[in-house]
Amino acid sequence: MPVSVASSKLIYESLKDIGVRLVSALPETWLVHLIRMSEEDPDMTLVRLAKEEEGVGISAGAHLAGVKSAMLMQNHGFLASVNGIVSCAQLYRIPLLMLISHRGEFGERDPWQTEGGGVTEHVLDALRIPHTRLESSDHVARRLHKAQTLAQSASRPVALLLCRDLMWEEA
């Protein structure tokens, strides 16, 4: 499975650098290494979810309790979480850091992933959630740091899209 270990490691190290101590996740192919790294790290709390929207509540609770967290999910999981993002994270000004694997773009072979790829950025725009794409390894550390800075200063959700060129090691 050509999911990039090197990119996953870079992302994980950046998450640690920006103070993330709790990660909620629902497995998806591109996230397997990140989830494994979270699980093997004794200083990280990993919460495996049944559905992604739960992660919004968990992150909100963690934030009010003084712990920085992140959500790891596929773009379809983000779509499944929209009411929680609006009615919990935005309504209550929670600095929610979302790492979203951006399936369904150029190069996607799984037919079932292709609809979500076309709507994800539009939905983020409609929700007024600041977002940026991570497409190469030199994006990772700087953009994650900047995303976290904005999330904390604005006290609002932000999203980083993990793109194919970063996460998948074949054309």
Partner 1 sequence: MKRRDAMEAVYSELDRCVVVTIMGAVAAELQSIGHKPNFFYLQHAMGLASSMGLGIALSRPELKVIVFDGDGSILMNLGGLSTLARYRPRNLVHVVFDNESLLSVGGFPTATSTGTDIAGIARAAGVPNTSTVRTLEEFRSAFTDALAADDLATIVAKVEAVGPSGYVTDLSLLENRYQFQRHLTTLSLSSQHPA
Contact 136, 162 (CB under 8 A): no
* Residue 145 in contact with partner 1, rule: CB under 8 A: no
Q: Which is nearer to partner 1, 25 or 167 (CB)?
A: 25
Here's the x/- map for partner 1, 54-93, by CB under 8 A: it reads as xxxxxxxxxxxxxx-x-------------xx--xx--xxx
* Residue 19 in contact with partner 1, rule: CB under 8 A: no
Q: In Å, how far are 28, 108, 128 from 51, measured between CA atoms?
A: 12, 23, 23
What is the Cα–Cα distance from 70 to 46, expressed in whole angstroms? 10
Q: Which is nearer to partner 1, 5 or 92 (CB)?
A: 92
Decide: residue 126, CB within 10 A, 0-12 exposed, 13-18 middle, 19+ buried: exposed
| Shortest reach from residue 18's CB to partner 1, in Å | 17
- Restricting to residues 33-52, name those near partner 1 by CB under 8 A: 45, 47-51
| Shortest reach from residue 155's CB to partner 1, in Å | 10
Q: Which is nearer to partner 1, 4 or 74 (CB)?
A: 74
Decide: residue 89, CB within 10 A, 0-12 exposed, 13-18 middle, 19+ buried: buried
Positions touching partner 1 (CB under 8 A) are 22, 45, 47-51, 53-67, 69, 83-84, 87-88, 91-93
